[in-house]
A and B are shown apart, each in its own frame.
Chain A
Amino acid sequence: MDRSLWEFILARWPELWEKTLEHLFHLTLPPLLIAIAVGVPLGILARRIRRLRGPVLSTLGLIQTLPSLALLALLLPLLGIGKANAIVALTLYALFPIAMNTAAGLASVNPAVLEAARGLGFTPRQRLWLVELPLALPVIVSGIRTAAVIDVGIATLATFISAGGLGDLIYRGIRMDDTRLTVLASLAAMTLAMIVFFSIGLVERALRRWTGPSNATQ
């Protein structure tokens, strides 16, 4: 490799690392976890209560179409600069894929399996936790993965409201006409998105092993 490029990366490394950690722990994970906590119940609600399905999913879908840069700017008068603003915006963007996939995953459960569970005397709550959610898990998880990748990407815009993350370095590169800096920080964001994507797959595998008995019904 070109020696000067190598030196550049070395010189930038501490800052790159710091901004990557900030990107992950301050801008990606909090909104993702909040979106899971809110989005999965919303998806279940949308599946259970027919009247709510349209309004809930189309509202979340509508939010998804809001340009992300504009949403951050629109939240400025309410929440000011900084992380709180970014976390609210990123949570909103993560909600749609999670709620949508939860509803779709539940809908894909074979009615015969539900009938059998009812025959075995499962209460509705037991059916949800022991039959429906485990069977819908792969679809729900793919929604969470989509949301995570979207959030890692959109979080690079958080720099415009002074919320930090890798967007800081990307934008400094643009401002200073320093392409290397922009490319380096973008590569870090891509790597982070991939790591998050695959880690969620690992969590899913662990969850499935944990909910072992339901595997028998598949």
Chain B
Amino acid sequence: MPLNEAHTMNLLRIHLMLLALVAALSMLQGCAGDRDENVIRVGCKDFTEQFILGEIVAQIIEAQTDLTVRREFNLGTGLAHKALVGGEIDLYVEYTGTALLAVLGIAPRSDPAEVYPTVRDAYAERFNLRWLSPLGFNNTYALAVRRDDAQRHAWRTISDLQSAAPRLRAGFTSEFMERPDGYPGLRSAYDLSFASARDIDPSLMYRALAQDQLDVICAFATDGRIEKYDLVLLEDDRRFFPPYDAAIVFRNAVLERHPALKPLLGRLAGAIDDPTMRRLNFQVDEHKRPAREVASEFLLEEGIVTHEGGSQE
């Protein structure tokens, strides 16, 4: 039976190859999802503010504990949450409104004060994740227009845009185009229909508005470029946007293993208000300084870390 024999040999070979593959993969896995309990993997999303916050958190842990920090930066909203739930990262900074709508899929709350407890409890129950106290700033979405336009047309609130909207060119980020707390919801909440609404990269939209290539954008309230380009944020008079209070979200398992981290990172509670965050973002976006440097400067100024690399008891 030469044929059968060859067949068996082939099968054997395939099995061996598969085994080798599995072995190789599990070794890789061993390296990636490491067993080392003394490594904290800090995640962050893919925009300036997140890099700064990721650095702030990473540098505090590095300066004040013996733990090793690994930076798993540059993840999208969906990816960061998945990575946290899947145990690939141990913490990252999330925003209450984003968690409420984009992650939990809960309808917006009319009372802003309700959002943080709702999100905190739901995360604990559904994902075994802990929300630490808010950092102190609210990076909400806000419609921004040029100051001269706002003055000429007496636009103060989003409702004021309604009649002018059919003549206005809007530019929104890809996420804003898709999120329930973005354009789809905003359009129906305010009955807005713009002349055009195009997808634009967040790093290009402020200048495009200032240079009259667009008339309205979905700005981030903590972006330093709002002041730089002399833009005006319109008041969300129908309270469509939920609060986007930033806070560190932690895996419970890691907090239990390293209980000292909670009071340590708790020092950041309320430590960064809107103007501070705007200033830090501006340093990176406009002065092109590295997030690492801006973060360590902030920690020194606040006295949270006493000197570079040093630890404060």
Contacts and interface: CB of A to CB of B under 8 A. Distances in A.
Interface of A: 76, 80-82, 159-162, 164, 168, 171-172, 174-178, 181
Interface residues of B, number: 20
Given A80-B211, A162-B199, A177 B76 contact: yes
A175 B201 CA distance: 11
B175 A176 contact: yes
A175 B46 CA distance: 10
Contacts of B178: 172, 175-176, 178, 181
Given A162-B208, A174-B76, A177-B79, A81 B174 contact: no
5 contacts: A81-B204, A81-B213, A172-B174, A175-B173, A176-B77
Contacts of A175: 76-77, 173-175, 178
A176 B77 CA distance: 7
Interface in B53-76: 76
B213 A164 contact: no
A76 B200 CA distance: 13
Contact of B174 (A82, A161, A168): A168
Given A81-B213, A82-B213, A175-B175, A162 B200 contact: yes
A171 B82 contact: no
Nearest to A167: B199
A42 to B, nearest CB: 32
A58 to B, nearest CB: 33
Contacts of B198: 162, 164, 168
B155 to A, nearest CB: 23
Contacts of B199: 159, 162, 164, 168, 171-172
A177 B177 contact: no
A162 B78 contact: no
Nearest to B79: A177
B97 interface: no
A83 to B, nearest CB: 10
Nearest to A177: B78
Given A160-B201, A162-B199, A175-B76, 12 more contacts: A81-B200, A162-B198, A162-B200, A164-B198, A168-B199, A171-B174, A171-B199, A174-B76, A176-B77, A176-B174, A176-B179, A177-B79
B171 interface: yes
Contacts of B179: 176
Listed from nearest, the 4 A-B pairs whose CB atoms lie closest are A177-B78, A162-B200, A168-B199, A172-B174
A160 B199 CA distance: 8
B95 to A, nearest CB: 15
B76 A162 contact: no
A51 B121 CA distance: 76
A181 B179 CA distance: 13
B2 to A, nearest CB: 46
**Quick one: which of B77, B174, B208, B211 has the most chain A CB within 10 A?**
B174
Interface in B141-191: 171, 173-175, 177-179
Contact of A162 (B77, B82, B171, B175): B171
Contacts of A160: 201
Interface string B204-219: 1000100101000000
B251 to A, nearest CB: 20
A128 to B, nearest CB: 44
**Quick one: which of B77, B198, B201, B204 has the most chain A CB within 10 A?**
B198
A76 B177 CA distance: 23
Nearest to B80: A177
A175 B173 CA distance: 10
Contact of B201 (A80, A82, A162): A162
A3 to B, nearest CB: 19
A160 B174 CA distance: 10
A162 B174 contact: no
B119 to A, nearest CB: 19
Contacts of A177: 76-79, 82
Contacts of A172: 174-175, 177-178, 199
Contacts of B201: 160-162
A156 to B, nearest CB: 12
Contacts of A178: 78, 178
B55 to A, nearest CB: 23
Contacts of A164: 198-199
Contacts of A171: 174, 199
Contact of B78 (A82, A161, A176): A176
Contacts of B82: 177
A159 B201 CA distance: 8
A171 B178 CA distance: 11
Contacts of B208: 80-81, 162
Nearest to A170: B174
Contacts of A76: 204
Nearest to A76: B204
